[in-house]
Chains A and B, each alone.
Chain A
Amino acid sequence: GAVVSQHPSWVICKSGTSVKIECRSLDFQATTMFWYRQFPKQSLMLMATSNEGSKATYEQGVEKDKFLINHASLTLSTLTVTSAHPEDSSFYICGKELAGEGNEQFFGPGTRLTVL
């Protein structure tokens, strides 16, 4: 399967700080990447679709000014959680679609964010 890396794998921060999570496509370029959030014992919820060179498309209910997404290159997308609060503590996962194969989506290893 496609290789997606994510950094950091876990982070603990104080309330009010900002945290940046990087998602890299290691084997081929990804025009589109997806950002998900997963709370304990819950499903993956899509936060936004990240498109290289253009603005991200956010899902309803996701604050675009709080969750900043930048997809500056075909291999890197970043998610910045601004002014993080304890309720933002979650498992954040990026995913990319395998181009040419038709729809297969592969995920990064995830980032466990804990906001104190």
Chain B
Amino acid sequence: GENVEQHPSTLSVQEGDSAVIKCTYSDSASNYFPWYKQELGKRPQLIIDIRSNVGEKKDQRIAVTLNKTAKHFSLHITETQPEDSAVYFCAAGRGGGNKLTFGTGTQLKVEL
């Protein structure tokens, strides 16, 4: 089955700096790679996703890149703000009713 690894487990940045979180996956058949943000005690919220036919996707301060050959994908947050502080999870899956496999999560802390 799919195995997703995520690094780092914790990340502290100064407000305004960029943050990068990286994930690798093992199943070459995975074609869907979402990123979720989870605040304490709340549900994970989809913030951005990418499909295997695209190498990069951007939405305002958030971007995701995908390298299918190396089987890794990354989340980039620019101009970080305190409200970006949360746990971020990457995931990988085949879609079409198939399950998602989640990474272990990254605790991002944006300091003033």
Q: Which residues of A contact B (CB under 8 A)?
A: 1, 31-32, 34, 42-46, 49, 93, 97, 102-110, 112
Contact = CB atoms under 8 A, between A and B. Distances in A.
Interface residues of B, number: 22
Given A102-B95, A103-B95, A105-B46, A43 B32 contact: no
A44 B102 CA distance: 6
Contacts, number: 53
Interface in B81-109: 89, 93, 95-97, 99-105
B68 to A, nearest CB: 16
Contact of B99 (A34, A110, A112): A34
Given A43-B103, A105-B93, 20 more contacts: A31-B97, A34-B100, A42-B104, A43-B89, A43-B102, A44-B44, A44-B102, A49-B97, A49-B99, A93-B44, A97-B95, A97-B97, A102-B96, A103-B34, A104-B34, A104-B49, A105-B46, A105-B100, A106-B46, A107-B43
Contacts of A107: 43-45
Nearest to B1: A60
A38 to B, nearest CB: 9
A109 B41 CA distance: 9
B61 interface: no
9 contacts: A31-B97, A34-B100, A43-B103, A44-B89, A46-B101, A93-B44, A102-B51, A103-B93, A103-B95
Nearest to A44: B102
A101 B21 CA distance: 26
A69 B97 CA distance: 17
Contacts of B101: 46
A1 B43 contact: no
Contacts of A106: 46
B94 to A, nearest CB: 8
A93 B34 contact: no
A19 to B, nearest CB: 19
B111 to A, nearest CB: 20
A101 to B, nearest CB: 10
In this complex, the member of B32, B43, B45, B51 whose beta carbon has the largest number of chain A beta carbons within 10 angstroms is B43
